[in-house]
Structure 1
Amino acid sequence: MVKTLFSFGHGYSAQALAQLLVPQGWRVIGTTRSPEKFGLLRAQGVEPVAFPGGDLSALEQASHLLISAGPGEAGDPVLATLRDRITALAPRLDWAGYLSTTGVYGDKGGDWVDETTAPAPSTRRGAWRVQAEAEWRAIPGLPLHIFRLAGIYGPGRGPFAKVRAGTARRIIKDGQVFSRIHVEDIAQVILASMARPRPGAIYNVCDDNPAPPQEVIAHAAALLGLPPPPAEAFGTAEMTPMARSFYAESKRVKNDLIKTELGVTLRYPDYRSGLQALLEQEGLGSA
């Protein structure tokens, strides 16, 4: 039987996974709220399905299920429609994955967290994720794996465009540090989990080098041969509430489990290697 992935909310990370699966002969079905994206998905070898409102009969053939649609104030959008029917609609699942966020750990003042650290979200978005994780884990018979993703970057989601345009900002907040992950490494972690299922598992997905955000921006500018944006103090910088909320949490995230259990070797173990690769993919090379 052809291995079949049904992907709810087939966005950036799911598309990177599909790029690995389709060449291996997988059937990949991805949902989107935007019918205008159907052509793009088909061009990537993915069968598009509208959700909500589309035909979900292909779930019956799914051997693998990925959920990357994020929750909002009203809760998880997939569970809102399918909570009591998901295992009945998808009776052949060998594996299910939920893409969550390291935001569930909250603010640790720059200290380290691992998968045994109790969630303690300090933002509304983090609290929504904790609730969604719990609701997905509560579904009987679902072979669920949870992936807590750090800040995602990759093609089309790097700092270079803003640095070139002069809109990048170097906000300085003492002690602030984030973990990050290249989207290609997210894909390979998920693929490794599919090959070694352990229902109930939780994995942190991040690189080896948590770093202050201003350091990353300065390095991106250096790669482009441009001066770094001027430093701005967090306390006095003009920022939207959304932008300011990203600085509400500071922590370092451990990634040992994806290495020891799943055997993953990160392609981009730090932001330096990841940014260099993005620049080379643009065809520009190092400045």
Structure 2
Amino acid sequence: MAAGAAPTRVLVLGLGYSGRHVAALLQARGVACSGTVREPEAAADDGVVRHRLVAGQPVDDALREAIRSAEAVICTVPPDDAGDPALRLVAEALRASTVLRWVGYLSSTAVYADREGGWIDESSVADAVDDTARRRLLAEEQWRGFARDKGVASAVFRLPGIYGPGRNALVQLAEGRARHVLRPGLVFNRLHVEDLAAVVVAAMGRPSEALYLPADDEPAPPQDVLAFAAELGGFAMPPAVAWDDPSVSPALRRFYASNKRIDSQGTREALGWKPKFATYREGLQDAIR
């Protein structure tokens, strides 16, 4: 794969929600794409070859062949206390590859501490110290370190909340799972899963160690998003509850404790990219169609 050229074969470690959309875009562009799941037999028939990847089990011959032929690898697997569990399983086979040119890792803007509504960009210090941030940063550095040792390009994508078809406020309202949690002054960005896929594919093949912060155009209060979805779908708004109310789970409270805006201009300029879904409004309107 020449510098700047698109890969011809890609391996997606973790065909979850984001991974499936990355694979779909690659296939639409004529790229041969395979991926890993825990249970290949239960997977959808979408043309993506699936390989089993499970902690404690050896990498089988079929997956080794997929690794051997992949010019680019993107990992979407969540980290654990020791970093990236997928990299631990495939690192040996990846090191033996003669065609690998690029690796990418999907991380999170959770690596940045609360900014009280202030802005972050690619130059901002990843200063969060909680367990979630520590795991993400460790996994990021493991992928960067692997790429440096291997002599290939790498990209880390620090992502805001991902939404899209089947995973959005409309679905939450329809299923009775939506929470109307209020924290005064809270805003955050989002990213449609199709825009995430476009960013990842645009980054593949770039001959560098890169950091990207893709995001939409409008950091918005979560209650505004919920209200727009409720009006769009004809749903009643759930009762409001304060973010620090005892009924709010600790995990959800941690989510609402971080208040920051993402400036993605550097990512847009580096990749020649802009979001197809500029705000949550366009994304939800597309979802309801």
Question: TM over 0.5, yes or no?
Answer: yes
8 Å CA contact 1:122, 1:249 repeated in 2: no
Partners of 1:89 and 1:126 in 2: how far apart?
Answer: 31
8 Å CA contact 1:7, 1:28 repeated in 2: yes
Tell me if 1:162 matches 2:169: no
Partners of 1:211 and 1:86 in 2: how far apart?
Answer: 43
Tell me if 1:265 matches 2:270: no
> How big is each residue's C-alpha offset from its partner over 1:250-270, in whole Å with a ceiling of 9 and x where there is no partner?
110111123212111211010
Quick one: which of 180, 185, 195 aligns to 2:190? Answer: 180
Give the number of equivalent residue pairs. Answer: 275
8 Å CA contact 1:218, 1:229 repeated in 2: no
8 Å CA contact 1:59, 1:89 repeated in 2: no
In structure 2, the residue matched to 1:207 is 216
* Identity within the alignment, %: 37
The Cα shift of 1:152 comes to 0.4
In structure 2, the residue matched to 1:91 is 98
Partners of 1:164 and 1:29 in 2: how far apart?
Answer: 33
Corresponding letter in the other structure for 1:118 = V
> How big is each residue's C-alpha offset from its partner over 1:153-180, in whole Å with a ceiling of 9 and x where there is no partner?
0111011133234442211111211211
TM-score by length of 2: 0.89
In structure 2, the residue matched to 1:46 is 48
Quick one: which of 112, 118, 131 aligns to 1:105? Answer: 112
Task: Kindly report structure 1 stretches of 4+ aligned residues shifted beyond 6 Å.
Answer: none
Tell me if 1:60 matches 2:68: yes
What 5-or-longer segments of structure 1 have no aligned partner? 281-287
8 Å CA contact 1:145, 1:198 repeated in 2: no
8 Å CA contact 2:114, 2:259 repeated in 1: yes
In structure 2, the residue matched to 1:31 is 36
The Cα shift of 1:145 comes to 0.7
How has the CA–CA distance of structure 1 residues 27 and 165 changed in structure 2, closer, same or farther, with 3 Å as cutoff?
closer
In structure 1, the residue matched to 2:287 is 278
Partners of 1:58 and 1:135 in 2: how far apart?
Answer: 21
Partners of 1:10 and 1:154 in 2: how far apart?
Answer: 16
Tell me if 1:73 matches 2:81: yes
8 Å CA contact 2:68, 2:94 repeated in 1: no
Partners of 2:125 and 2:155 in 1: how far apart?
Answer: 17
The Cα shift of 1:104 comes to 0.9
Partners of 1:136 and 1:79 in 2: how far apart?
Answer: 8
> How big is each residue's C-alpha offset from its partner over 1:30-53, in whole Å with a ceiling of 9 and x where there is no partner?
011123334x1xx21111111133
Moved more, 147-156 or 163-172: 163-172
8 Å CA contact 2:215, 2:275 repeated in 1: no
What 5-or-longer segments of structure 2 have no aligned partner? 2-6
The Cα shift of 1:87 comes to 4.2
In structure 1, the residue matched to 2:249 is 240
Corresponding letter in the other structure for 1:24 = R
Quick one: which of 16, 23, 28 aligns to 1:11? Answer: 16
TM-score by length of 1: 0.90
Partners of 2:199 and 2:46 in 1: how far apart?
Answer: 20
